[in-house]
Amino acid sequence: MSKGTTIKEALAAWEQKAGEKAADAEEIKLLCQIPSIEKMDASLSTLTNCKKLSLSTNAIEKITNLNGLKSLKILSLGRNNIKSFSGLEPVGDTLEELWISYNLIEKMKGIGVLKKLQVLFMSNNQVKDWSEVQKLSELPCLVDLNMVNNPIEEKHSLDNTWRSEIERKLVKLKKLDGVPIVRQDDEDEG
């Protein structure tokens, strides 16, 4: 089996292509690396100015080494092999959007540290239980959620209870699965 691309190698290639230092950049795209990135290594800590980091379509299993990313607002980790939210603590006070669709997440433990999170795209994961979805209520700023093709969404969409349950459990949500939420009190104001 071939060795994966390291973050350090991917950043060096990015710098060469972009013609700028990664440490100075506000947006870094390290998606679809060949061979795939397997680990979020310590080289990430050099990205102190990065506001948007894209690591989608790789083979990452764990979220790690986000300590130096003091400006990070958008983290894209879709199409990897991530199983949990642990490791997000260092960006808990800055991250506004987390794109983590097409992974292997079943449990929401650790999501509550993201106090500024407004957008969570996590379609095509493995969430099965309402008790896990309920943990999203710990996110005071969450307004946009996509959970299409998770077992819980599929099951409750079949019996037409998905939207009403989510609207009841997450009262600040404004958009669910790409569709705006219209609440009775919104209609009364208009």
Please report the DSSP string for the chain in residue order.
Answer: -PPPBPHHHHHHHHHHHHTS-GGG-SEEE--S-SSPB----GGGGG-TT-SEEE--SS---S----TT-TT--EEE--SS-----TT-GGGTTT--EEE--SS-----TTGGG-TT--EEE--SS----HHHHHGGGG-TT--EEE-TTSHHHHHHHHTT-HHHHHHHH-TT--EETTEE---HHHHHH-
pLDDT at 184: 76
Query: 97 has which bridge partners?
Result: 74, 119
Please report, as a single letter, which amino acid is at residue 136: L
pLDDT at 3: 85
pLDDT at 133: 97
Q: Which residues of the chain have pLDDT under 50?
A: 1, 190
pLDDT at 185: 66
pLDDT at 127: 98
Query: 28 has which bridge partners?
Result: 53
* The dihedral sign for the CA sequence 9, 10, 14, 15: negative
Structure tokens at 150: 């998770």
Q: Which residues of 40-55 are buried (b: 16+ CB within 10 A; e: fewer)?
A: bbebbbbbebbbbbbb
Structure tokens at 56: 């989608």
pLDDT at 1: 47
Q: Taking the model in full, what pTM does it have? A: 0.95
Which residue's structure tokens are 């009841």?
168
Candidates 173, 84, 180, 80; CA nearest to 127 is 84
